[in-house]
Amino acid sequence: MSTTPDSPADQHTEDSGGHGNLTYFIIGAIVAAIAVALLLPALLEKETALTIFHTVETGGEVFLRALMMMVVPLVVASVMSGILGLGDVRKLGKPGFTAVAYYLSTTVLAVVVGLVWVNLIQPGKNSEAKPPESEEVVVTTENKAELLEQLEQQTGLEKEKLAKLFPVLEEGLPGKGPDIGTIMKGLVLMLFTDNLLHSAANTDLLPLIVFAIIFAGMLTTMGDRVQSITTMIGQINEAMMSFVMLLMNIAPIGIFCLVASKFGIAQAEGKFLDVISETAGFISTVLAGLGTHAFITLPLILWFFTRKNPYRFMKAMSRALLTAFSTASSSATLPVTMDAANEAGVSKKSTDFVLPLGATINMDGTALYEAAAAIFIANITPDFDMTFGKQIIIAVTATLAAIGAAGIPEAGLVTMLIVLNAVGLPPDAIGAVLAIDWLLDRFRTATNTFGDACGAAIVDTSFETEDASP
């Protein structure tokens, strides 16, 4: 049960099964959890069922926290040891370019797939038209419009004047949503932090990755003087991976608790089967889109570049995909993704930096979802005219919004406000997808994770070519 970095024997050992029947146990846990989630509320009183599910929730939370507590040290150690293993940060040039090109092109492809499906199915057009109930909406980050509204009432000053006094609130003015320039600025600034510890404390991975690349790159130029630090980073990385494997032993229990509690609470509160039937058109659109991307587009790309059997690769990655489904967080899943990808034959050279970066910025499922959801919302918004130009704006902003979304549950919902704003849809229209987001989030997170894994396998081939040319 150990990963030996970079040994050639490590390569092409798909399905070598270092975890025995773990995947089957995880599948069993998910099926059992969904059965319990559906049965208990039917058999017991609502309050009793909820009490049981809230108790079970603690077990899930423990597993989730155990995964999350590994993410920051694992990302820093793995990115650093990846660069140190290369021996020179400049060798990251071609793989780095391949990774970024892969992330961008697959995200755009995902958006296109989402747009094609949503235009075909047209969810919400006739049947399930149900304008959002704004009172129930909790707008989290983008509450500037709301603040302006409140201030206007409290001070009697007009919104425009208030926005001049408090420029930070300007985006809250009607029609003053963030433009592409503002979004791009935000994305660039996301790469850098003025306080590394603050970023670590918030699991803000992007600046940590940037720091790790620069720091390790510098170490590679310092030779023997930094030998102990270099060795130590490699050892921390290996120890962290062993920790992940240890945690995998309790994964089926953790996953059972996570899924049973989340689905059970939703079912007891009428937010599972009922909501599914209410928004069936939208759900099928998203699932058709995610399915097309995960089972056709990504496998084709993977096969084209690696000539690996994509479905065997998917099977080898299944424990990471199931963890992604259960946690709804690609960051929390990252330790499992790294472990599974190594076992699936992707070299540590590649997984060490492609997966942490991918878990942070490569979100195909999220991009697809945001594009499809925006059109669904437009369909149910009375008198909203969806032109081809607006669909292009949705495509661009959904790509950027997905890059900006964190790898945590329902992060896509927050960045979707950027997409809605860009085409002039009201932010509170998001209420239309709020009730079902927790469920669809799981499918898009699994798609995100599979996209990251395929990226690592593809970038791996660019290392091989580079090694071949001295």
- Which residues contact ligand ASP by CB under 6 A? 328-330, 363, 366, 405, 407-412, 441, 444-445, 448
CB nearer to ligand ASP: pick between 52 and 373:
373
The pair phi, psi for residue 279, each rounded to 5°, is -115, 35
* Smallest distance, ligand ASP to C-beta of residue 293, A: 13
CB nearer to ligand ASP: pick between 301 and 363:
363
CB nearer to ligand ASP: pick between 3 and 327:
327
Cβ neighbours around 15 below 10 Å, total: 12
CB nearer to ligand ASP: pick between 302 and 405:
405
* Smallest distance, ligand ASP to C-beta of residue 290, A: 11
* Smallest distance, ligand ASP to C-beta of residue 328, A: 5
Residue 3, C-beta contacts closer than 8 angstroms, at least 6 positions apart: 10, 238, 241, 339, 342, 343, 348
Counting every residue, how long is the chain? 470
CA 446/CA 443 separation, integer angstroms:
5
CB nearer to ligand ASP: pick between 216 and 266:
266
Burial 17-47 (b: 16+ CB within 10 A, else e): eebeebbebbbebbeebbebbeebbeeeeee
Cβ neighbours around 131 below 10 Å, total: 12
CB nearer to ligand ASP: pick between 330 and 342:
330
DSSP 8-state secondary structure symbol assigned to residue 88: S
* Smallest distance, ligand ASP to C-beta of residue 66, A: 17
Cβ neighbours around 291 below 10 Å, total: 15
Say how far residue 267 (Cα) sits from the centre of its chain.
Answer: 24
CA 85/CA 347 separation, integer angstroms:
11
Q: What is the dihedral of CA 365, 371, 372, 376, to 10 degrees?
A: 150
Residue, CB closest to ligand ASP? 412
CB nearer to ligand ASP: pick between 219 and 336:
336
Amino acid letter at 243?
Answer: F
* Smallest distance, ligand ASP to C-beta of residue 443, A: 10
CB nearer to ligand ASP: pick between 345 and 412:
412
* Smallest distance, ligand ASP to C-beta of residue 68, A: 12
* Smallest distance, ligand ASP to C-beta of residue 365, A: 6
* Smallest distance, ligand ASP to C-beta of residue 450, A: 11
Instruction: Please check whether residue 110 is in contact with residue 368, taking contact to mean a CB–CB distance below 8 angstroms.
Output: yes
